[in-house]
């Protein structure tokens, strides 16, 4: 049979196997590489193992036939258990993907997505024995329910800006758009190949003699979710993104669980997980080390629950920046609990630009451990990238922020607690209890810094936060610029 005919038949064969019961097949899986694979420039991969399920007897087996159901019971009765159908698996190799680390497998992924999107309970499989390179691609819906994008091998973009196709978007790589119920998971790696992007001369301190050159500096977000809902992202290793590793825009009902995100501490703008205009988000049981915010929360984000996260090195967990270019920004109901932040420039940070409007409210930080963090607790309403910003009379209101059981050590280059709030829109209702932050190197405890900050110290804290003011400024009453939904 000719090569062309075989390639045409492979996708049809893959579809033909859909619908078999859960039992009946054995699958060979190589142990997924952690940070590399046998293809391309990645190395590693452990000896394979066999994962088996009970075999379906062949047609000529002498196994006793299954007796019919008792009288009065039919398979459609609710009391009769129904064996769920096995998901349809769409292996990208069946659509022509090579997985050698250098061949462009983009078209194979697009064809596999088209087939998987049209099938119920489908799995698009990136197999464990390959390193697959694709260019900028949007995987869009709507699709049939239960779609899974399973990365068990290595998936990566072209190696740096010089290899990026001129016709491709340089602001994003893989985009999942207009989907309901997608799961992105796997035991494999999404490798960003970001090293050459970080070295562009327009990146901070990448020009001659440590300067920053002006000019186009677009770099792709590695994985972006856009206008989608009921999303699950779990179990992946994601590393070396050119810019943000994950970004959620205009989404709802998102669960992120068990991720390992890694980039060097000096890689610029490599936020681990960024959430914007997205609501009902849970981020759990993940470890993030990178060159920017571990988790960043932008405007329009509501009901965000973050638990059991380890961050560092990096810039900590940040709300903001908010209110840039005199815009309105609203964030509310954010909880951070059971977190460890170590060797980081910041710990728990809220940052806003002068001139903005709106409010950050209902923020709770609890049960957080700091290890050698420079700014453990910081609210900065004077955020400015080049420190030449002009003072302005409006600001995003920061209110109803609590810190409870926040303990650990801080880098003595900065005070451990820093509330720099707006003269005209002060921070209000800050509450602190069981806060204990000691210098990592054993010097005397630094005093907190407060400016236009109102709140209460509910228990004795170390250092004592006596600089918080009592009450509520009259200037904030009935101010329409501070209203959010």
The residues carrying an active-site annotation are 315
Token representation of residue 58: 């062949």
Task: Name the strand (E) or helix (H) holding 420.
Answer: strand 417-420
CA distance 96 to 4: 11
Q: Are strands 237-239 and 260-262 parallel, antiparallel or unpaired?
A: parallel
CA distance 330 to 219: 27
DSSP string, 386-414: SS-PPP-S-B-EEEEEEEEEEEEEE-TTS
Token representation of residue 37: 């694979």
Q: Are strands 131-133 and 88-91 parallel, antiparallel or unpaired?
A: unpaired
**DSSP, res 93:** G
Q: What contacts 64, CB < 8 A, 6 or more positions away? A: none
Q: Collapsing DSSP states into helix, strand and coil, what is residue 299?
A: coil
CB 353 within 8 A of CB 383: yes
Mapping DSSP onto H, E and C, the string for 225-253 reads: EECCEEEEEECCEEECCCCCCEEEECCEE
Q: What contacts 457, CB < 8 A, 6 or more positions away? A: 432, 433, 464, 465, 466, 468
**Sheet with 137-140, side-by-side order of all strands:** 137-140, 172-177, 221-226, 246-249, 273-276, 295-297, 317-322, 346-352, 375-380, 417-420, 449-451
Q: At what angle do helices 106-117 and 3-16 cross, to 10 degrees?
A: 30
Separation in Å, CA 187 to CA 31, 52, 197, 241, 253: 9, 18, 26, 18, 23
For residue 135, how many C-alpha atoms fall within 13 Å in the half-sphere facing its CB?
14
Q: Collapsing DSSP states into helix, strand and coil, what is residue 107?
A: helix
Q: Is the dihedral of CA 456, 460, 465, 466 positive or negative?
A: positive
Cα(first)–Cα(last) distance of the chain, in Å? 64
């Amino acid at each position: 049979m000719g090569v062309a005919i075989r390639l045409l038949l492979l996708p049809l064969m893959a579809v033909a196997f859909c619908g078999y019961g859960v039992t009946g097949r054995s699958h060979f899986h190589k142990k997924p590489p952690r940070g590399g694979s046998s293809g391309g420039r990645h190395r590693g991969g452990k000896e394979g193992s066999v994962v088996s399920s009970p075999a379906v007897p062949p047609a000529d087996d002498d196994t006793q036939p299954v007796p019919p159901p008792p009288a009065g019971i039919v398979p459609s009765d609710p009391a009769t258990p129904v064996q769920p159908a096995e998901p349809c698996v769409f292996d990208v190799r069946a659509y022509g993907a090579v997985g050698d680390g250098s061949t462009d497998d983009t078209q194979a992924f697009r064809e596999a997505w088209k087939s998987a999107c049209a099938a119920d309970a489908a799995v698009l499989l990136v197999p464990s024995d390959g390193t697959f390179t694709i260019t900028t691609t949007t995987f869009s819906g709507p699709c049939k329910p239960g779609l899974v994008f399973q990365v068990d091998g290595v998936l990566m973009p072209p190696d740096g800006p010089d290899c990026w196709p001129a016709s491709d978007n340089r602001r994003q790589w893989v985009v999942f758009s207009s989907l309901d119920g997608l799961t992105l998971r796997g035991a494999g790696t999404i490798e960003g190949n970001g090293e050459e992007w970080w070295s562009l001369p327009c990146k901070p301190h990448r020009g001659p003699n440590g300067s920053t050159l002006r000019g186009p500096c677009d770099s792709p977000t590695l994985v972006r979710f856009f206008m989608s809902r009921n999303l699950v992202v779990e179990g992946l290793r994601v590393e070396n993104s050119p810019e943000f590793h994950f970004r959620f825009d205009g989404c709802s009902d998102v669960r992120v669980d068990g991720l390992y995100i890694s980039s060097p501490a000096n890689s610029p703008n490599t936020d681990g997980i960024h959430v914007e205009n997205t609501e009902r988000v849970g981020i759990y049981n993940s470890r993030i080390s990178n060159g920017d915010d571990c988790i960043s929360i932008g405007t329009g984000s509501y009901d965000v629950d973050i638990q059991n996260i380890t961050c560092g090195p990096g810039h900590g967990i940040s709300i903001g920046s908010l209110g840039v270019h005199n815009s309105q920004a609203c964030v509310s109901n954010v909880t951070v609990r059971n977190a460890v932040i170590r060797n980081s420039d910041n710990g728990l940070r809220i940052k806003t630009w002068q001139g903005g409007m709106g409010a950050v409210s209902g923020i709770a930080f609890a049960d957080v451990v700091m290890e050698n963090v420079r700014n453990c607790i910081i609210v900065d309403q004077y955020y400015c990238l080049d420190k030449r910003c002009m003072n302005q009379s409006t600001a995003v209101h920061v209110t109803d922020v609590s810190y409870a059981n926040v303990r650990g050590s801080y880098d003595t280059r900065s005070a451990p607690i820093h509330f720099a709030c707006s003269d005209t829109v002060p921070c209000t209702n800050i509450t602190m209890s069981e806060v204990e932050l000691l210098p990592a190197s054993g010097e005397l405890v630094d005093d907190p810094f407060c400016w236009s900050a109102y709140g209460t110290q509910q228990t004795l804290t170390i250092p004592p936060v006596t600089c918080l003011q009592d009450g509520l400024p009259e200037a904030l009453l009935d101010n329409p610029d501070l209203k959010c939904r």
